[in-house]
Each structure stands twice: as C-alpha cells, then as structure tokens.
Amino acid sequence: MNEKLDRRKKYTRMVLKDSLMELLKEKAIGSITIKEICERADINRSTFYTHYSSQYDLLHQIEEEIITDMNDTLAGYGDNKVGEERLMTEKLLEYVARNKEVCEVLLSERGDVHFQQKVMDIALNHTVTNLVKANQVEEGLSKYVSLFYVSGSIHLIEEWLKNGMDKPPKELAKIIIVLANNGLNGLKI
C-alpha cells in the first residue's frame, strides 16, 4: 500500500512540476496562479496544497533539485585539481543538455534571479579555487576574475540553449575555457 502511495505522490509532484515548467515558458512566475497550475496538471487545489504551499514553493523545489544535481555532477571534482576546469565544464554542459527544457526556462528572464545566483555561486566556488591553485590569479583578484568568467559563461550557456544547443557540450566547454584562459586571443577569428 505504501509503495502505491509513494508512486502516486511522485506522479502528482511530477505533473505539478511539468505544469509549472510549461507555464513558465509562457510567462513569469509572478503571473502564474495556483489555479492555472492545477488546471494544466488536472489536479485539484487541495492536492496541490498537500505538496506545496505556493507556486513559489513549487518553483523553489524544482530549483533545489537542479542545484543538488549540479553539485552532485561536480562532486567528483571536489578537490578542484588544476587542469580539470575543462572536464568540469563539459560535465556541467552535458548536464544542462540532458535537462535542456528545465535549464532553459530557469535560466531565462522568466526564471528566478535567485536560482541564477545559486548556479553562479556553485560555479564560482569551483572556479575561484582552481584559479588560485593554478597561480593564474592572485587571491585578492580571484573573486573578480571568477565573477567575470562565470557571468559570461552563464550568458553563453543561455544563448547556447536559445540556439538549440548548436554546438556539442565538448566544443562549447572548449570555447569557455579558451576564453577564460586566453580571452579573444585564444580564439581563431
């Protein structure tokens, strides 16, 4: 009996999440009502409130799952070895590619700015450590350099998603790393 309830709970949560993500493709979270989510999910409001307190709570849960998954994806690189930046970037881009629809919506202007900041914080944490370890940047400047690097990378990923991921993750990772390490001098123009 418990297994049946767990499956039903999982299914309900999945349908609610999918419904919210579909609505976020059309409009911002502040314009989405619980009624709209429930209608799209074909679930009544009391069922919604059994699982979530608001549309923001539902969005927050989706974001937390993505953040956890991203951290897990990068967990194998916990010691931040010098030279692993490209592999880390590839793995992160492969994750984004596998979760294209969700990442595209959450990183867009309709997504939550706080989510984008959390993604930046994850990337900054890994980037700062690597830059200092590689002696590429002195410790006092690493936060500024990392912020520049990560902000540009996130916008590049947003554009990549908008363009239908027109380059494979490995190629985009190479572009990001070359730009980070050598600026425009590293690219053949």
For the chain, state the CA radius of gyration. 19
DSSP designation for 32:
-
Band (pLDDT 50/70/90 cuts) for residue 189 is very low
Contact status, residue 168 vs residue 146, Cβ threshold 8 Å: no
Torsion angles phi and psi, residue 84, rounded to 5: -90, 0
Question: Distance between CA atoms of 64 and 62, rounded to whole angstroms?
Answer: 6
Residues 6 or more apart whose Cβ sits within 8 Å of residue 63: 106, 112, 114, 115, 118
Question: Distance between CA atoms of 23 and 6, rounded to whole angstroms?
Answer: 26
Q: What is the pLDDT of residues 127-146, one digit of tens each?
A: 555 555 555 656 677 677 77
Cα 25 versus chain centre, distance: 16
Alpha helices in the chain (DSSP H): 2-24, 34-41, 45-51, 55-74, 85-98, 100-106, 113-133, 139-162, 169-182
Q: How many CB atoms lie within 10 A of CB 48?
A: 22
Whole-model pTM: value is 0.78
All domains in the chain, ordered by first residue: 2-52 (1.10.10), 57-186 (1.10.357)
Residue 134's pLDDT is 56
DSSP designation for 29:
G
Q: What is the pLDDT of residues 64-114, one digit of tens each?
A: 999 998 888 877 765 555 567 778 888 888 988 999 989 888 888 777 778
pLDDT of residue 39 exceeding 90: yes
Q: What is the pLDDT of residues 49-64, one digit of tens each?
A: 999 999 999 999 999 9
Q: Which of 95, 88, 94, 48 is nearest to 68 (CA)?
A: 95
Question: Distance between CA atoms of 135 and 83, rounded to whole angstroms?
Answer: 12
